[in-house]
Structure 1
Amino acid sequence: MMLKTDSIAVLKKQIDSLNKVVSDYHSSQSWFKFNEAPVQAASIVALITLVTVLLGFIFKDYWIPHWTENRNKRKEGERLFALYKTNLFWAACTFNFRIKEIYSTRSHYLWTIGSPHTFYDYKYKSSVFRLCVLFGWIRAFKLLQSKMSINKGDEIDECIKSLESAFADGQQIEMYMAKTILDIAKVDTSKLKPGVIEKLSVEIDHLIFKGLESSQKKYLAEAPTDIQEKFIDDLTAQLRELKIQCSELFALKSSIIDVVSIKLGLIYRDWQQAIGDMMLLKEESNYTTISFRAFEEFWDSPDSPEKKWLIRAEVMFGNLNMTLDQQQDSRVKQLEVIYERGYQLLKTLYNSQTDTRPISKPDFDKITSTIK
């Protein structure tokens, strides 16, 4: 740490004064002269002055500037948190509002992509837009999190991770398919060893991928008959390997193919981050998201690099029919989970800093915790 010029000058003066006292003592012929009142008084005055100067330096030249700097950083961190918390809150709130609307009105404007009906076209695009904006504010929050002074930071992190998982993880779908196939094949799952269903779910996923790769189709239900039969053959062999006794699967082929052709709406974590990056604009040290106008320009430009990420976000809503059950479209159940985890994020953000709440308590209490 550096001493200021005026502090150095005063300190030097006091050191010189002490040096003089010591010099006088050494030049004296008698030890007892040091005990004389004038010498003691001079020593005490010099020592007190020296200590005063040192304390003054510590407080004025180091502690106070350091405290001021930390206070300013804390205030800036609180400002950043209040700003990005509010933006993230509204992004999650408007997205949850839209998927609740989709759930309750049965998603009719999502059934045909690119509808010529102007209102339906807008509702479809704005649904994808709200999803992308949510990814954008999650990304911005993470980018600046190290500079924020965050209340309930760990809880907010867990809520964000949980929400990202609802968009990205296919494990619950794999388990659903495995359990449904075992049910169709009349297998008593209570008699299976621990971990067998989990292993089967992974193997089923591999067999589905193998069949889709061979047929170049999106779903096994669209694949040629020989590919479907090969899948049933391989599935039978896998069940034997796991020592699972069941009914003859070829007689159940149609039902099993329907189960493994379930529609998915997975947006993987790295995709979420990339979509978030696409949606952000940096203005000096702060972020904002692109407008709906800019978003629609990306949408209408098939050759733009952004179009790829919009297509990946679109899987959540493309031809989503809420009148179907989960056996036909996993997104029906997935939206319920996303809404509930989005609500938990809203609740944690709302309670994290009570002096900067984005809406009143009565208005927040009107938000339901589940989509139903």
Structure 2
Amino acid sequence: MSVQLQAGLISAGVSTLILVLGELFLRQRARQEKKQGIQATYQKYTEPLALSSMDLFWRLREVFDTSGAGFYLQGQVHRTKFEHYKALSTLYRLAVVLGWIRALRRELFFLPGASKKTLKRLDDALHAFTSAFAEGGHVEVRRVASLMSLWSISASPSTEVVTQAGIRIDREQRRFLHEAQVADANQLSDDDQLRLCQTVADMLADVIECPRIAEGIVEETRHRAISCLAVREAWIYRDWQAAIGDLVLRDAQMGQRQFEVIGYKQFEAMGSNGEEEDRLWLRRLNTVIDDLDIGGDRTRDARIDQLGEIYMATARIIEALHNDDAARSRISPATMRAVEEALASSMAS
């Protein structure tokens, strides 16, 4: 082989190698830039999420203070400006956290090729937060347990059977109330209350496979059975949460974020003289805290435990965001101490 041919082959090989290495470098650089872009997006939304979560955490800490500091949620009509402000600002803080969660998910999930793994560190905490708003299976189980105790049913059904019974009773009660055009079992006539109780008693006996409850016992215990059935609930389904989040989001006019959350002034105006469609979503969210007595009977008002779970989930969001980068975390030591105290108390109870 001539020297010229060898030189040509070497030159061609080197050129090919340079092209291959160059392509690999460009691809690696593109992947790195995409990764950095996702991380930057994650960072620019987790910071306001952390701040809004802290605001909500401290408010809920006040609400659950055993001294009764959260009295301002009680009553449908707030007599003083202070009570009105505290109730409305609590609603605002709930909506703001939903807004930042919605913004984070919208922008990250809509980025081309964005990986959901980027959010893994927050997933559990965010899931706990949305679940606290949306899921009430424990209420259905508690209702079954209360009715079984009331009617002295000695059977020991499995968890699956109790859950099934709770779902069927809840569905039957909703159908019954819808047909009677009332919102609550307490609003039914005496005859309708008795019919509902008998239907529920028969259904419960059939599901857990025990003898049916005598009509006389059902009639005698009607008032207490209605109390078990008429648990106050206010579940905000996940699609509703997304809609409420969208409601408080606006396109950012400047800066790196695509979305911003509206301020308290705009929120207050929306609630008082906004579009009826917007006010509908605020009313739905408000059902969680409307006329809520934290010191009341938890078996009669499921919202007490619901708000408590939202409180704990908010603490977990703060903890997750802080632990993600503790060295640069903007979450104050006082807040972290309060978060750790709240979570420890929850674990102990």
Deviation at residue 327 of structure 1 after TM alignment? 1.6
Tell whether 2:101 aligns with 1:138.
Answer: yes
Return the alpha-carbon distance in structure 2 between the equivalents of residues 114 and 194 of structure 1. 41
| SS of 1:217 mapped into structure 2 | coil
Q: Indicate if the aligned counterparts of 1:111 and 1:320 stay in contact, CA closer than 8 A.
A: yes
Deviation at residue 361 of structure 1 after TM alignment? 5.3
Q: Give 1:71's match in structure 2, choosing from 27, 32, 37.
A: 32
> What are the residue-to-residue correspondences of 1:248-327 with 2, within 5 Å?
248-283=217-252, 286-301=258-273, 303-327=275-299
Q: State the partner residue of 1:125.
A: 88
Coordinate RMSD, CA, aligned: 2.4
Change (3 A) 1:150 1:329: same
Return the alpha-carbon distance in structure 2 between the equivalents of residues 162 and 336 of structure 1. 12
Q: State the partner residue of 2:201.
A: 236
Return the alpha-carbon distance in structure 2 between the equivalents of residues 175 and 218 of structure 1. 21
Give the residue type in structure 1 aligned to 2:44. Answer: L
Q: Indicate if the aligned counterparts of 1:106 and 1:323 stay in contact, CA closer than 8 A.
A: no
Q: Give 2:163's match in structure 1, choosing from 198, 222, 226.
A: 198
Tell whether 2:185 aligns with 1:185.
Answer: no
Q: State the partner residue of 1:222.
A: 187
Tell whether 2:11 aligns with 1:49.
Answer: yes
Calculate the TM-score normalised by the size of structure 1: 0.81
| SS of 1:369 mapped into structure 2 | helix
Return the alpha-carbon distance in structure 2 between the equivalents of residues 149 and 357 of structure 1. 24
Return the alpha-carbon distance in structure 1 between the equivalents of residues 240 and 247 of structure 2. 10
Return the alpha-carbon distance in structure 1 between the equivalents of residues 76 and 267 of structure 2. 17
| SS of 1:288 mapped into structure 2 | strand
Q: Indicate if the aligned counterparts of 1:151 and 1:352 stay in contact, CA closer than 8 A.
A: no
Return the alpha-carbon distance in structure 2 between the equivalents of residues 205 and 149 of structure 1. 39
Report which stretch shifted further, 221-230 or 316-325.
221-230
Q: Any idea what the Cα deviations from partners look like across 1:243-299, whole Å, max 9, x if unmatched?
A: 324571211111111111111121111100110111111227611111111111110
Report which stretch shifted further, 161-170 or 102-111.
102-111
Return the alpha-carbon distance in structure 2 between the equivalents of residues 149 and 71 of structure 1. 13
What percent of counterpart residues are identical? 21
Return the alpha-carbon distance in structure 2 between the equivalents of residues 170 and 300 of structure 1. 30
The unaligned stretches of length 5 or more in structure 1 are 1-33
Tell whether 2:174 aligns with 1:209.
Answer: yes
Change (3 A) 1:149 1:91: farther
Q: Indicate if the aligned counterparts of 2:54 and 2:335 stay in contact, CA closer than 8 A.
A: no
| SS of 1:180 mapped into structure 2 | helix
The unaligned stretches of length 5 or more in structure 2 are none
Q: State the partner residue of 1:15.
A: none
Q: Indicate if the aligned counterparts of 2:197 and 2:218 stay in contact, CA closer than 8 A.
A: yes
Q: State the partner residue of 2:78.
A: 115
Aligned length: 332
Return the alpha-carbon distance in structure 2 between the equivalents of residues 121 and 362 of structure 1. 28
Q: Indicate if the aligned counterparts of 1:152 and 1:352 stay in contact, CA closer than 8 A.
A: no
Structure with bigger gyration radius: 1
Deviation at residue 152 of structure 1 after TM alignment? 6.4
